[in-house]
Amino acid sequence: MIRHPSADPVEAFDGLVTAANDGSAPAPGADAASGSHTSPTATDAGPEHRDGWSRNRLSAAVAAIRGNHARPAGERPLADEIGFFATIGARRDIPHGVALARRGTTTGEVHLVERGAVALVEEHDGRRPIVAFAVRREFCGSVPALLHEPEPWDAVAVMDTSVITVPAARFSAAVQDRWVDRWTTRTLAWLAAVGARMEDIDGRDLDAQAAALLLRHPGEFPVEVCRRAISDLLDIDDATTRRIVDDLEQRGAVRVVGSRISVARPEILRDVVAVGRSGPRRRGSRAAGRRRAAAPTA
């Protein structure tokens, strides 16, 4: 799920997130060594997370959602769009744990991330799983603004983040005047990616949701990094994540050798996903395993 076969988790998305921390994150590996899995949207994180997520943690979670590849170049802003934001936008520094947008509110702003990362956070079965990320040189809030829809999720900074903010109306007008073709393509790609992720989250079984993440990465990677990313993305505690991974290993879906994990039989993972989406909810799956964490502050 986390690792490209030819790279360590830290390096898999290094070009994507190296600049995100701007030197402010904990030392590489600090998160993985900790036994605590603080919710990405908590504001009462312990001392080990006082600076938000590390580059390692972000790289693993982004890779888990997007698969082995970074967002295609055509989906990232071009020079004229960056210039537009720089000319009329307002630069803002957002501390980690703070929400830029709230689910159900009017989409009044579009953000271009300059540093750090923003997670789009869903409400599901008493948990707050992550749907998607916006990292450096990516937009947050652009598609809802163009579709004139309310914010579909909370948008929360998972590390100290800098953004350039433009009013949604100004952004929509600029797209209509200058960039209709490119944004038609981007919007369709975004809707497809988010739709696939929401289908994963809507699985009625936590095992199915974890299996869907594992199917995105058939390579071998550190088991602790794998567990950490599952916990972060599904907003479940360590014990539940360990139980899920152990269960999938017993079924033969994954193989754990030493400190490494790999997908052994993807067809079993696909069966787990299919059963979890169509079958009855497993007893206790609604609230069991969710993290006890505070909601983000605005």
Domain 9-69+202-278, what architecture? Orthogonal Bundle (1.10)
As annotated, the residues of the chain forming the CATH 2.60.120.10 domain(s) are 73-200
As annotated, the residues of the chain forming the CATH 1.10.10.10 domain(s) are 9-69+202-278
Which of 10, 113, 26 shows the shortest CA–CA distance to 62?
10
- 242-265 b/e with 16+ CB inside 10 Å = b? ebbbebbeebebbeeeeeebbbbe
What pLDDT is attached to residue 11? 42
Dig out the tokens for 175 from the structure: 């797209």
- Asked if 96 and 156 touch (Cβ cutoff 8 Å), the reply is no
pLDDT above 90 covers a percentage of the chain that reads: 61
Compute how many other C-beta atoms are within 10 angstroms of the C-beta atom of residue 105: 11
Supply the CATH classification number for the domain 73-200.
2.60.120.10
Q: Residues 70-100: pLDDT tens digits? A: 565 557 889 999 999 999 999 999 999 999 9
Section 269-291 average pLDDT: 65
Mean pLDDT for the chain?
Answer: 79
- CB hemisphere CA count around 48 (13 angstroms): 13
Q: How far apart are CA 97 and CA 117, in angstroms?
A: 11
Longest dimension (CA), the chain: 57
Please check the confidence at residue 295 and state whether its pLDDT lies above 80.
no
What pLDDT is attached to residue 73? 58
What pLDDT is attached to residue 72? 57
Q: How far apart are CA 202 and CA 215, in angstroms?
A: 16
Single pTM value for the model = 0.78
Q: Residues 191-246: pLDDT tens digits? A: 998 998 998 887 678 999 999 999 987 778 899 999 999 999 999 999 999 999 99
